[in-house]
């Protein structure tokens, strides 16, 4: 064992950390410290060497020298025989091997190889858990979303968050079911500091201070018209007036303790306006996750049932993006980046993997993907009908979102997937 030479003054008393404790019948290891005279007048050197009894060497059969001599003399010990080449099934053609210098299957031939070269990872830390809340005491199942509930904000929600935290999911996003009597054309309940969302945020932060709480910034849960913005009498969604309301909503949520506000409305200029409003109120630390590329998709149906937020008339195509458009997502990306967004989100997820990759390749900001209610419900339905293996398809779909470039995934599977990743059933 080689010596270690340490330069330090020789005036050494008791050296902390070198005391060895005796455990059972084992003798403690000892270190021999031998002073050495240095050529430097101001310093001396000492060598720390392992003593002969610092390791118990158990002799079995021949010594190392004898074993090496045998090998040199050509008397190597016998090893297990080379395993035979497995036989091919009867009828397999006998051919000359293909002249291939590259065979990618070599790196896929066993679970250990596949694990070693896996490019994308998936963990509970990647998930944001969307949770529906309401004013009731009981948890109400959502018919179109098996396994999902409108949770009572004081009890059921806390229990669900506790379950998620137990398996490593520590980020949630809240969606409120607002009483119809509180809905108005201008959605004023959205910025009521005593409203359902601010109350819930304060309760969660009191119970779980380190929980990351995302909020939804949009008027549709609070609008009597069911749209994300204020509707003019001719049916036009008013942009700038809506942004004014969204700023007040975001500030109210930040005041309650939200960590990330998430404008999902798709109004022009709302990210910059919200950033200015938050900063003016002293909430520079609150992040903005912008729904940068939110498409006017048919995959949202179950969600709207969950919140009873279907538009009273028309559709959302004048503010949400056309599913046929690809380059338009870059326009939204550049606008949100310049206005101060901290995270860029694509919604829906799996049908829009190309858009996730587009944003990933064109922005250094974190990218989020929302695996929406329609995606969730289709996998659930396929599993219930035994057409697919629900758990495997669930995990594959989430891995695909990560592979496309998503850093975080908003998914109703968050708890179920995290349990699966942790080895729970």
- The set of catalytic residues is 294, 347
Which two tokens mark 86? 């497995």
Integer Cα distance of 320 and 328 in angstroms: 11
Contacts of 36 (CB under 8 A, 6+ apart): 5, 44, 45, 46, 47
Side-chain-side CA neighbours of 307 within 13 Å: the count stands at: 28
**Alpha helix locations (H) across 233-365?**
239-256, 270-280, 301-307, 328-339, 353-362
Integer Cα distance of 329 and 178 in angstroms: 31
Integer Cα distance of 358 and 292 in angstroms: 12
Integer Cα distance of 352 and 348 in angstroms: 6
Q: How many separate helices (H) and strands (E) can be counted in the chain?
A: 12, 15
Q: Which residue has the tokens 């630390």?
A: 285
Residues in the chain: 425
Quick one: which H or E segment has residue 14?
Answer: none
Q: Give the three-class secondary structure for 310.
A: coil
Closest CA to 305 of 75, 163, 146: 146
Q: Within a 10 A sphere around the Cβ of 228, how many other Cβ atoms?
A: 28
Q: Which residue has the tokens 């119809």?
A: 180
Q: What is the separation of C-alpha 323 from the centre of its chain, rounded to a whole number of angstroms?
A: 26
Q: Within a 10 A sphere around the Cβ of 181, how many other Cβ atoms?
A: 7
């Amino acid at each position: 064992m080689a010596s270690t030479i340490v330069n330090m003054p020789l005036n050494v008393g008791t050296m902390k950390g070198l005391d060895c404790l005796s455990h059972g019948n084992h003798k403690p290891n000892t270190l021999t410290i031998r002073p050495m005279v240095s050529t430097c007048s101001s310093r001396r050197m000492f060598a720390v060497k392992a003593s002969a009894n610092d390791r118990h060497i158990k002799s079995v059969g021949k010594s190392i020298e004898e074993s090496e001599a045998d090998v040199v003399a050509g008397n190597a010990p016998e090893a297990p025989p080379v395993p035979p080449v497995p036989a091919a099934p009867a009828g397999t053609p006998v051919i000359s091997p293909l002249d291939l210098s590259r065979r990618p299957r070599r790196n896929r031939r066993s679970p250990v190889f596949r694990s070693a070269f896996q490019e994308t990872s998936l963990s509970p830390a990647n998930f944001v858990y969307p949770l529906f809340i309401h004013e009731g005491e009981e948890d109400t199942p959502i018919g179109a979303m098996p396994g999902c509930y409108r949770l009572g904000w004081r009890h059921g929600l806390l229990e669900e968050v506790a379950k998620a935290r137990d398996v490593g999911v520590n980020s949630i996003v809240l969606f409120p079911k607002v009483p119809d009597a509180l809905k108005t054309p201008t959605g004023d309940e959205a910025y009521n500091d005593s409203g359902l969302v601010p109350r819930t945020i304060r309760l969660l932060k009191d119970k779980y201070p380190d929980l990351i709480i995302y909020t939804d910034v949009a008027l549709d849960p609070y609008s009597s018209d069911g749209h994300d913005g204020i509707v003019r009498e001719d049916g036009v969604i008013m942009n700038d007036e809506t942004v004014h309301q969204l700023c007040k909503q975001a500030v109210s949520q930040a005041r309650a303790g939200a960590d990330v506000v998430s404008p999902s409305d798709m109004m022009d200029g709302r990210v910059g306006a919200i950033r200015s409003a938050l900063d003016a109120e002293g909430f520079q630390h609150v992040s903005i996750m912008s729904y940068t590329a939110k498409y006017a998709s048919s995959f949202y149906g179950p969600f709207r049932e969950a919140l009873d937020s279907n538009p009273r008339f028309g559709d959302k195509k004048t503010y949400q993006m056309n599913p046929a458009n690809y380059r338009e997502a870059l326009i939204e990306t550049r606008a949100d980046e310049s206005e101060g967004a901290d995270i860029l989100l694509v919604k829906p997820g799996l049908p829009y993997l190309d858009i996730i990759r587009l944003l990933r390749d064109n922005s250094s900001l974190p990218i989020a993907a929302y695996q929406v209610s329609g995606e969730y419900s289709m996998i659930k339905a396929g599993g219930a009908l035994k057409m697919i293996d629900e758990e495997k398809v669930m995990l594959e779909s989430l891995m695909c979102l990560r592979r496309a470039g998503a850093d975080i995934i908003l998914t109703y599977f968050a708890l179920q997937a995290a349990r699966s990743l942790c080895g729970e059933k």
